[in-house]
Structure 1
């Protein structure tokens, strides 16, 4: 088989899912990950509809995902006095199958690690294509040459930046930010969510111990500096009512915080020569609700096309893009920011009505299911 030695950047979901299939088809796989170890925290993610379930079943992990699923959690939307205004049902946020990102990442890693080389604490710094491969340099490791390189390293993809151009050319800020914080304190057994215009905080819910969404222009900060991220949250949520002052004190003491923009990738091609993008790096929309499903379906198609083409990357990449381009329109339609953190009191009330009048909720969920299944899966 041609082009059998493949480097994948990113060890979250898309990268290990692709590694799973490539190993099965006889490719040699190396995965490089910037984090020093597997990231086991993070929010809950979900799968929707027959297409997602079919791919998980063909991977042989559907039963494992079911075993690890959270089950979904109803969330109370409350006012400043703690009175319930509406209930956001677990099936709305959790899809058919909900699992924490950390559990899914660990599951995929454990399935692939025995037959795949993982390199943690490193990242790609340059890619130089030759007639027969790609010469790769790293921050820490010695240079190596691979037949193909896959960028499965998220919306802030290093591979996309190196191979295609600066992030500003491809990533569009959608006007909101979100944050996930692991808290030591327990704020009660119920999952609750509170809004003021342009700001939302949820505690004990399905996404994280503390989950924030707020409207903002683009912010300048270090995504790897927890102190800076806590300072931003403290500034944005100063003066907010309900239990937020106590939550913010807990945030200040927390060790793990993740803050990022709600953004969308817009790129006119998924591949360039021997380099191809997968998952959020190619068609991501953070907090859009379909990212994990897109990642596993994209991995299935990309690996299957490489195998079907006998490693011919020109044919495989073209067919992968043909199939995923239409399906990935899901990412263009989703933006949870204005829904979770409306910028006006009227917008908050209108959002709450959706959960009071279930026919509106049913229409939204039906549309989501239709988008999640809008691809005809090949059998490779």
Structure 2
């Protein structure tokens, strides 16, 4: 069998560049294609926990990530009228215990540093995306929306919940996506609340939000969630989702009106369903899936980034161990990762409406060994 060396990675977020780093270290030739014109900005703060910290250290990113981690002093929980009903200086809902070795980092910071760490020796193609994949005995022809078709030995979908690679290779998203009963919106605005390293959380009925100061307390990052059955396709467009979020926020008390206006104007507005991807197999032929594309746990688990980091490391290690024999490598990758992925997915549904227990998180975040 011809040794597979050229690897197309669809998705330039976190999983894609980290996989590219490790593939390059092991003698492969990765190419990362990203639909956005540059590394994506915006998004929530993400957690890097347990064994994923080891991946960050081995990749050479942990010190940089620690330098820009969030450093909260605590949080307040408010009633629908803005009155404080609980406060903690030991933990926050977004990151867990403040004295933990785990770290919380803005997603955009982690995306940027992963790109900067790899751009010198990895080919990046921004502003383009896949439109078709055609596999034969010798490799895979990839067709692009803008650039010419190219051939690769292997293809990896690291392109998120709504993965194009998964759709092209495995079929419609509806076969694999499991809605978890809510939607999440994230956007930024000025720190009009003058919060200083302190989070604020409020829930009113079936909706609620968390507010976190970032960038040395000059900005706020708002995470707004609301319960809902899957919305109709016409209501899932960017403009329609923004209108829904603005209306739902505006109906809340306390600072709901100002938060609604911030959502209306935010250039980094994001909203999507809370959903998990569950598949019987992550690989088909020369194509495999990584991170959210294959086993999205949803932000409710707090473990999407950690799964992406660990999955990237394990996949690259499996390909190197099997000298590019993709069938053996993909089988090994899935055998090692699936129990870890499923245990972390379970965190999202353990305690509906609230976080999983500390014990469950501790068990799940360390439930795989990098060596062995």
Q: Deviation per CA, 1:197-216: give whole Å up to 9, x if none.
A: 11002223579622101000
Could you tell me which residue of structure 1 aligns to residue 99 of structure 2?
none
Deviation at 1:40, TM superposition (A): 2.2
* Aligned twin of 2:205: 197
Residue number in structure 1 paired with 2:167: 161
| Structure-1-length-normalised TM-score | 0.88
What residue number does 2:69 align with?
A: 69
After TM superposition, the score normalised by the length of structure 2 is 0.90
Counterpart of 1:131? Answer: 137
Within a 5 Å distance, the mapping from 1:244-283 to structure 2 comes to 244-283=256-295
**Residue deviations 1:182-241 (CA, integer Å, cap 9, x gap):** 123522314211111110022235796221010001113579954322211123234221
Structure 2 distance, partners of 1:120, 1:223, is 28
Q: Residues 109-258 of structure 1 correspond to what in structure 2 (within 5 A)?
A: 109-184=115-190, 186-189=192-195, 190-204=198-212, 209-220=221-232, 226-258=238-270
Q: Give yes or no for contact 1:284–1:331 (8 Å, CA) kept in 2.
A: no
Output one character per residue of 1:161-191: Cα deviation in whole Å (capped at 9) or x when no partner.
0000000001111110000011235223142
Give 1 or 2: higher strand fraction.
2
1:366 Cα offset (Å): 2.3
Q: For 1:326-375, what per-residue CA distance to the aligned partner results, in whole angstroms no more than 9, with x for missing partners?
A: 11113431327975xx4xxxxxxxx6xxxxxxxxx9x9112201111011
Distance 2:15 2:73 in 1: 25
Separation in 2 of the partners of 1:228 and 1:15? Answer: 30
- Does the residue aligned with 1:85 lie in a helix, a strand or coil? strand
What RMSD, in angstroms, separates the aligned Cα atoms of the two structures? 2.3
Query: CA 1:279/1:110 → structure 2, altered by over 3 Å: closer, same or farther?
Result: same
Aligned length, in residue pairs: 358
Q: What stretches of structure 1 move > 6 A for 4+ residues in a row? A: none
User: 8 Å contact 2:140–2:151 — kept in the other structure?
Assistant: yes
Question: Which deviations, in whole Å up to 9, do the C-alpha atoms of 1:100-135 show, x marking residues without a partner?
Answer: 111111111011111111111111111110101001
8 Å Cα contact 2:74/2:87 also seen in 1: yes
**2:272, 2:263 → 1: CA distance?**
16
Instruction: Identify which range, 231-240 or 110-119, moves more after superposition.
Output: 231-240
Say which structure is richer in helix: 1
Partner of 2:346: 333
Between the aligned partners of 1:64 and 1:158, the Cα distance in structure 2 is 31
Residue 361 of structure 2 aligns to a residue whose secondary structure is: helix
Listed as ranges, the gaps of 5+ residues in structure 2 are 97-101
Q: Give, in whole Å, the separation in 1 of the partners of 2:139 and 2:315.
A: 18
How far apart, CA to CA, are the structure 2 residues paired with 1:113 and 1:90? 36
Worse-superposed segment, 251-260 or 75-84: 75-84
Counterpart of 1:369 in structure 2 is 362
What residue is the counterpart of 1:38 in the other structure? 39
Preserved CA contact (<8 Å) 2:10 2:16: yes
